[in-house]
Amino acid sequence: MKGKIVVVGEHQEGKIASITLECISAAKELKTEAETILLLMGEDMRTNASEWNETDVDQIIIVEHPLLARFSNESYIKALLSVWEQLEPSILLCGHNDIGRSIFPYLSEKWNLPLLSNIESFVLHDNKLSITRSAYSGKLTERTEVEGSSFLITIKPKKWKPLPKKEKTKPAVHSLKVNIDKPVATLIGLEQKREKAAGLVDAKIIVGAGRGIQNEEGFALVKKLADTLGGTVGVSRGAVELGVCDASIQLGQTGKTVAPDIYIACGISGAIQHLVGVTSAKTIIAINKDPNAPIFEVADYGIVGDIFEIIPSLLKEWE
């Protein structure tokens, strides 16, 4: 494939987000003669140039504008429309998250280009792109072959491993100017959720809480186990509906996708909507008092019992 593959980069507190590094790995799978470009948008971006320079891309394009200081659908769309006209890439690539889900459908309609969303793998051959992704909440696997040379693609998080950082050769860095009108709606501030979601996606150990935790006492017990193991807490929709935590740490189809070394599911039945977000874990341990719970079908290790008895017994092992 000739042309350019542009990765829409995300950055948090001056560092490249893990999903962007995964997108770069995905772009490398598509690359033959195409140039891989990392697109970074925001305000005062060059202050973190040393961080960007270690990414394994051919070129870095920086777009700076005051209206890009905080993420806004309207501002990002207008910036990407201008970037597309100036760079004329063959593929625009992003993670299947808030940015990919909210912006790429609009761009697909605007440019009349195919949108291939939530992709788990792909193969390019004979000017045809074969893609694989989950369908019907993970109940089926869809395989599709698309002809053409220009696409919009969003990839499922944790399906590609980030490439090692480059140390010797550094990509060329260029600035690109865009015109953005003042948006109708402007983000004026952010409020921190009760449960800190930062680091959940990249956590090595996650202890999951489901409807079986029953109440705040159960959630506190799960959190204590996570703290003892040096991990963090994730939840299913059932736990959110109990009112003991918020959706910022929800895992699954409508939450975050994770791939920890260890995932301990406490009181989680194992609905497919939850499992699609956690089955990339290297080891899954399930604790549930229902021996027929679907979670045991995907678990590497299972404990049948009440979490209010099992978790305290586990905690004693670390005392």
Residues 230 and 292 reside in one and the same domain: yes
Nearest residue to 14 via CA among 54, 74, 58, 67: 54
Classify residue 292 by its DSSP letter. Answer: T
Q: Establish whether 100 is an annotated binding residue.
A: no
Q: Establish whether 269 is an annotated binding residue.
A: yes
CA–CA dist 127, 1 (Å, integer): 7
Those residues with Cβ within 8 angstroms of residue 220's Cβ, 6 or more apart along the chain or in another chain: none
Residues 231 and 300 reside in one and the same domain: yes
Residue whose pair of structure tokens reads 């899954």 in the numeric block: 284
SS3 of 106, please? helix
Residues 140 and 216 reside in one and the same domain: no
SS3 of 77, please? helix
CA–CA dist 294, 304 (Å, integer): 12
Q: Establish whether 133 is an annotated binding residue.
A: no
pLDDT for 43 equals 86
Domain total for the chain?
2
Q: Give per-residue pLDDT as tens, 145-192.
A: 988 888 999 999 989 988 777 666 688 889 999 988 888 877 777 665
Contact criterion met (CB below 8 Å) for 163 and 24: yes
Q: Establish whether 189 is an annotated binding residue.
A: no
Q: Establish whether 295 is an annotated binding residue.
A: no
Identify the domain boundary among 141, 175, 209: 175
Q: Establish whether 18 is an annotated binding residue.
A: no
Which uninterrupted H or E stretch holds 95?
strand 91-95
The pTM for the full model equals: 0.80
Within-domain flag for 192: no
CA–CA dist 169, 28 (Å, integer): 17
Q: Give per-residue pLDDT as tens, 84-143.
A: 999 999 999 999 988 899 999 999 999 999 999 999 998 877 778 899 998 887 778 999
Contact criterion met (CB below 8 Å) for 25 and 160: yes
Q: Establish whether 307 is an annotated binding residue.
A: yes
Residues 257 and 162 reside in one and the same domain: no
Within-domain flag for 34: yes
